[in-house]
Structure 1
Amino acid sequence: MDRTRLPRRRSAVRRAAAGVCLVAPVVALLWVPWYAQERPELAGVPFFYWYQLAWVPLCSLAVLAAYLLTRRQSEP
């Protein structure tokens, strides 16, 4: 395998992984019929509400992961 192609291939895989990190919360929150229910409750809060609120920190972690996957490494 050509050594110049390896960094490009790694870069493409990292960009694809970053894309998955960014698309997963969108799909999870736009697929409303999956979480449009009252049960299970968490501290008296219906599933519909606490599921959406749980995605607030999860979305920030997904964006952080995408950032870390796509940032450029400094040249030594």
Structure 2
Amino acid sequence: MICTILVITPVVLALSVPLYQRTEPTLGGLPFFYWFQMTMAVAAACGCGATYFIAFRKETETGDTQ
């Protein structure tokens, strides 16, 4: 369940166009659209990485490769 939330949340937020269809607030001179999309890309990558470690942690502890 937690793996699903980690992966789906940034994807759903990135697909919600009315949420970020604006230019304000800016961050370092970048409009909201650009830095929000980059934040969601990083969040999705972190969620996928965390999901990988959660799903395969027992495999690394026991040494099984199946």
- Which bracket does the TM-score occupy, shorter chain normalised? 0.7 to 0.9
Gaps of 5+ in 1: 1-15
Q: In 2, are the aligned partners of 1:17 and 1:69 still within 8 Å (CA)?
A: no
Cα RMSD after superposing both structures: 1.4
Whether 2:55 is the aligned partner of 1:65: answer no
**Corresponding pairs, count:** 60
In the TM superposition, residue 72 of structure 1 has moved relative to its aligned partner by: 4.9
Equivalent of 1:30 in 9, 15, 20: 15
Q: Which structure 1 residue ranges, 4+ long, deviate > 6 Å from structure 2?
A: none
SS at match of 1:68: helix
Sequence identity, in percent? Answer: 32
In the TM superposition, residue 70 of structure 1 has moved relative to its aligned partner by: 1.1
Q: Which structure has the greater CA radius of gyration?
A: 1
Gaps of 5+ in 2: none
Distance in 2, matches of 1:72 and 1:39, equals 41
Instruction: Output one character per residue of 1:41-65: Cα deviation in whole Å (capped at 9) or x when no partner.
Output: 0111110111001222221110011
Match of 1:18 in 2: 3
Q: In 2, are the aligned partners of 1:25 and 1:55 still within 8 Å (CA)?
A: yes
